Each structure stands twice: as C-alpha cells, then as structure tokens.
Amino acid sequence: MGKEKNNFMKFHSLFSLVLLFMLGSATTSLAQKKQYKVGCVGFYNFENLFDTEDDPNIRDEEFTPEGSKRWTPELYQEKLDHLAEVISQIGTDLTPDGLAILGTAEIENRKVLEDLVKHRKLRSRNYKIVHFDSPDKRGIDVGLIYQPKYFTPTHVEAIKVNPILPSGDTLFTRDVLLVSGLFDGDSLHVLVNHWPSRRGGAKRSQPLRNLAAMSNKMAIDKIRKRDPDARIVIMGDLNDDPTSPSVKDVLQAKSKPKKTAKDELFNPMHEYYKKGIGTTAYRDAWSLFDQIILSGSLLNPRDNGYRYYKAEVFNKPYLTQKTGQFKGYPMRTFVGDEYRGGYSDHFPVYIYMVREL
C-alpha cells in the first residue's frame, strides 16, 4: 500500500485504473488484474470563441456589441462558462484531473484561451497555453492547453498549409500547430488541425483538405526520420469524415488496430462513424469531422510507455438540442445571428492513454 501511495504522489493525479483482461476459451476464463496510470487527450471545436473587441486586422466585427450578433461581455462570459463546464467533465470517468491535453479550434486569439483557463472550474488544473496567430481571414486559430504536471513542451511550431493553390491563388487557412514534448516522461508529438471547410461543395473543396492532410504527413515523416518509434497524435476538425480521401488516402489512416504497423496511422474514430455516431450535424445528417488519429507506435509501444486504450465522443444529453428544427443536433451558440445559448455546434472527442504500473 505504501508503494502505491508513493506512486500516486509521484505522478500526482495520474490515476491508477484497474482493468480486467479476460483470457481463455468460450467455456473458461481467467480474470487478471493490472494497474495502470491514465492520461486523457482531447480536441474541441469551440464554435467561434471570440472576445468582444474589434480587431482591425481580422474580420471579427460581427462578434462585437455593435455587430450583427450583439456579442456582449455577458454573452462572452456565458460562452466561457459553458465551455469550462464541458472541459471540466471530459475524462473524469477514469482520471480525476480530466484532460491533460486539449487541442482547440475556432478561437480568436490567445486572450480567449487565457480567459478560459482562468475560469473557476478549470483554474485548479493550472492549464498552460500554446498558440500562434494564423493567416485565416476571420482570425480563427487553433491552440492547445495542457497541464504541466502531465506534459512539458520541448518544441512548438506553426506549420503552414501549402498557401499557393494550383490556380495561383493564395490559401488563407489555419496553420497546423505542432507541439512536441514529454508526456510523463514519454515523448509525444501533437498536431492540432482545423482544415478548410466544405464551402462550395465537398468535392470541389476536397483538394484543399488534401493539402492540409499532406502538411501533416510531411511533418510526421520529418519526426519519424529522427525517431522511427515516435508517438504521434493528430487531432482536429478535419471537415472530412474518416472515409474521406484526405484521411483514408493521403494520411492512409487504418481502421483496425491489428492491421496498423508502428509506422502507420490508426483512426479510432472510424468505428464510431460506421455506427452512425458523429460530432456535428447538417441537414439531418451526421458527420464525424472531429477526429483523433494515432501513430501505430501508440498501439504497441516497444517500452513500458503509454499506449492507446480507447476513444470517446463526449455527447452528453445536456449538449444536445432538445426541441425545434435542430432537435438532436449539438446545441450551438448561434444559428445565423440568433443567439441560442448553447455550447458548440461540435461535440468534443478524446482518448485515454494508459501505462502499466
């Protein structure tokens, strides 16, 4: 008991989870108890988390008190309250600290993340921030928050998605955020994404998302040249499903862990997509745009390091619209310029990683 207590104190709230593995045939089984430390990593599209001030360098006028959405400090604070409530709950089924790392999308700037992590429901976790301004014309960026007692960044980088299109036009889209570091002593590389939208049609805009996927692939190849066993997590709002060309063909993400080699990618969200479970809805159809994709080295690590345990979509009933035209959809903040007082038009996604004690 003393040894277990020391382990708990050493790793703070990296929680010990007891899992039961059933061994044997259809007629006999043996339950073997094993103890694990658990870490939770997630992604959440915040649906336009803007502050209330007008930044002359971006198109944020609608999110001001005088703008079309009448975006007041009171509504901004309510939005922060809602997001903090969700974040405070994700992952707490298996670890009391919840999310060790959270990638975010649709944030206006670093300030909104600073306001969020100072919220009373999150303050005790001491979240730190990684953020760069992106070239998106509306000023929306990706970012990452992390608990320093779990994760220590050693390298951060904003990776440009190829800005010059075959037509010669410039693509102003979100950068890919690469954050490399140590997750409780294990190396971990996290790529946070928000790929180009389907505006103009899914087929017509597909090459843009393929470019974003290729930016990830090139970054992964570069990481693996230095470390063939690198642990890598790709996360984000991809504006594509697990079966879309960007994910299936460019990233070549596999749908089955047993068929994924250590130098390949595994997409645990594929199984949810097959079951009709999504993270965002449009015209009464679900899409699973929010995904977390893993390197094969997280399935069967060569050392006693962290490995993938399971993935989840955080789609609690309180996040779902109960009535009206959008009944069953994620309860969003706005429909057009009409304030609905919801959380986000996307559900968060997250994974558990475990290490055997």
Query: Per residue in 159-211, pLDDT tens?
Result: 999 777 777 888 889 999 999 999 999 999 999 999 999 999 999 999 999 99
Tell me which amino acid residue 285 is.
A
**Interval 316-330 mean pLDDT:** 95
**Interval 30-55 mean pLDDT:** 90
Report the candidate in 242, 308, 227, 296 with the shortest Cα–Cα distance to residue 266: 296
What is the rounded CA–CA span in Å between residue 125 and residue 84?
Answer: 12
Beta bridge partners of 356: 36
Residue 119 clears pLDDT 80, i.e. is over it: yes
Residue 5 clears pLDDT 60, i.e. is over it: no
pLDDT of residue 165: 74
pTM recorded for the entire structure: 0.92
Residue 7 clears pLDDT 60, i.e. is over it: no
What is the rounded CA–CA span in Å between residue 70 and residue 315?
Answer: 28
pLDDT of residue 8: 40
**Interval 298-307 mean pLDDT:** 90
Q: Which of 21-25, 54-58, 228-232, 332-336 has the lowest mean pLDDT?
A: 21-25
Residue 3 clears pLDDT 90, i.e. is over it: no
Domain ranges for the chain, please list them: 2-356
pLDDT of residue 301: 84
What is the rounded CA–CA span in Å between residue 291 and residue 44?
Answer: 10
pLDDT one-digit tens code per residue, 148-158: 999 999 999 99
What is the rounded CA–CA span in Å between residue 5 and residue 342?
Answer: 41
How sure is the predictor about 81, in pLDDT bands with cuts at 50, 70 and 90? very high
How sure is the predictor about 324, in pLDDT bands with cuts at 50, 70 and 90? very high
pLDDT of residue 249: 98
How sure is the predictor about 345, in pLDDT bands with cuts at 50, 70 and 90? very high
Residue 13 clears pLDDT 90, i.e. is over it: no
What is the rounded CA–CA span in Å between residue 190 and residue 204?
Answer: 29
Q: Which of 27-41, 140-154, 271-285 has the lowest mean pLDDT?
A: 27-41
What is the rounded CA–CA span in Å between residue 198 and residue 209?
Answer: 9
Whether domain 2-356 has CATH 3.60.10.10: the reply is yes
| Both structure tokens of 64 | 């001001």
Q: How many CA atoms lie within 13 A of 108 on its CB side?
A: 22
Percent of the chain with pLDDT over 90: 84
**Interval 134-152 mean pLDDT:** 96
The two beta strands, 30-49 and 99-107, are parallel
What is the rounded CA–CA span in Å between residue 7 and residue 123?
Answer: 25
Residue 17 clears pLDDT 70, i.e. is over it: no
Residue 126 clears pLDDT 70, i.e. is over it: yes
Residue 31 clears pLDDT 50, i.e. is over it: no
Q: Classify residue 11 by its DSSP letter.
A: T
Q: Which of 25-39, 104-118, 241-255, 259-273 has the lowest mean pLDDT?
A: 25-39
Residue 116 clears pLDDT 70, i.e. is over it: yes
CA max distance for the chain:
70
pLDDT of residue 32: 60
254 C-beta neighbours (distance < 10 Å), count: 20
How sure is the predictor about 15, in pLDDT bands with cuts at 50, 70 and 90? very low
Positive or negative CA dihedral for 252, 142, 233, 293? negative
**Interval 127-154 mean pLDDT:** 97
Chain length of the chain:
357
What is the rounded CA–CA span in Å between residue 263 and residue 260?
Answer: 8
